[in-house]
């Protein structure tokens, strides 16, 4: 895609490559980390910091200025998903690469209906809502009991850079 179109795509809310505030964890650390690591996609300076204030381990580092983009120390992240449910931008997810040989466990924020249940098949979508593959719901949690759910979906490992949302079909 020409740079101009890529920029337009990014300007419409689709991440088109790594940027400050939107980096993937280092692969070597990620591969062996049970529970998974956080992926944050928040590339714009906005006055917001609940990802940091909700993180119990300090993995999302303190903000010098509340407008900074989040910086992550992945060595401290336990994959607990507290930030996933606290972030008002729904910009955090956790991906656990140790789930199985072929599949990773994707832990995604979800505030829609219907709420899926364990064992249900859901559609895995990319950043533009396009269908990628079918995934299986392994768990549904509500870390802060505030109606933002975190849906744990097992799906192919090959989707780590693209699978960012689910569609639940009744």
Partner 1 sequence: MEEKVNPGGTGAALDLIEEHPILEFQHGKKITFFFDGRELEGFEGEPISSALHANGVRVYRETADMHRPRGFFCAIGKCSSCFMVVDGVPNVRTCVTPLTAGMRVETQRGRGVVPGSDEGGASS
Partner 2 sequence: MKKLSTEVLVIGGGAAGLSAAAEAASAGAKVLVVESDLRPGGQLIKQTHKFFGSKDEYAGTRGFKIADILLDEINSFKDSVSILQNTTVSGYYKEDDEFTAMRGEEEYFHIKAKKTIVATGAQERLIPFPNNDIPGVYGAGAVQTLMNVYGVLPGRRVLMVGAGNIGLIVSYQLMQAGVQVAAVVEAAPRVGGYWVHAAKIRRMGVPILLRHSIKRALGEKCITGAVITGLNERFEPVGPEQQINCDLICIAVGLSPTTELLSQAGCKMMYVPQLCGNVAQRDRGMRTSNPDFYTAGDAGGIEEASAAMVEGRIAGLSAAAALGYPTEHGKLDEYWGRLQSLRKGEAGARICQGIDCVLVKDWEGVAHA
Binding site for ligand SF4 (CB under 6 A): 38, 40, 42, 48-51, 54-55, 57, 59-60, 70, 77-83, 87-89, 91-92, 94
Bridge partners, residue 93, by sequence: 39
20 binds partner 2 (CB under 8 A): no
In DSSP notation, 49-87 reads -HHHHH-TTS-BPPPSSTTSPP-B-GGG-----HHHHH-
Kindly state the smallest distance separating residue 168's Cβ from partner 2, in Å: 11
Bridge partners, residue 50, by sequence: none
Instruction: State the binding partner of 53 from partner 1, ligand SF4, partner 2, none, CB within 5 to 8 A by kind.
Output: partner 2
51 φ/ψ angles, rounded to the nearest 5 degrees:
-60, -45
Among 27, 145, 147, 170, binds partner 1 (CB under 8 A): 147
Q: Which is nearer to ligand SF4, 42 or 159 (CB)?
A: 42
Which residues, including other chains, have CB under 8 Å from residue 17's CB and lie 6 or more apart?
Answer: 6
Instruction: Output the CA–CA distances (angstroms, integers) from residue 143 to 33, 140, 149, in the order listed.
Output: 21, 10, 7
113 binds partner 1 (CB under 8 A): yes
| Residues forming the site for partner 2 (CB under 8 A) | 8, 11-15, 41-50, 53-54, 65-67, 86, 88-91, 111-113, 125-130, 146, 148, 164-165, 167
């Amino acid at each position: 895609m020409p740079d101009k179109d890529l920029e337009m795509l990014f300007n419409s809310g689709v991440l088109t490559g790594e940027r400050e505030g939107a980096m993937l964890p280092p692969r070597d650390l990620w591969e062996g980390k049970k529970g998974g690591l956080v992926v944050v996609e928040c590339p714009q300076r906005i006055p917001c910091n609940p990802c940091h204030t909700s993180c119990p381990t300090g993995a999302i580092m303190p903000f010098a200025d509340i407008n900074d983009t989040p910086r992550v120390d992945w060595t401290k992240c336990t994959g607990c998903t507290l930030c996933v449910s606290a972030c008002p931008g729904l910009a955090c997810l956790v991906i656990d690469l140790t789930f199985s040989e072929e599949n990773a466990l994707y832990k995604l924020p979800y505030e829609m209906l219907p709420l899926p249940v364990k064992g249900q098949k859901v559609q895995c979508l990319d950043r533009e809502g396009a269908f990628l593959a079918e995934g299986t719901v392994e768990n549904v949690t509500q870390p802060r009991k505030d109606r933002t759910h975190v849906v744990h979906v097992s799906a192919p490992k090959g989707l780590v850079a693209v699978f960012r949302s689910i569609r639940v079909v009744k």
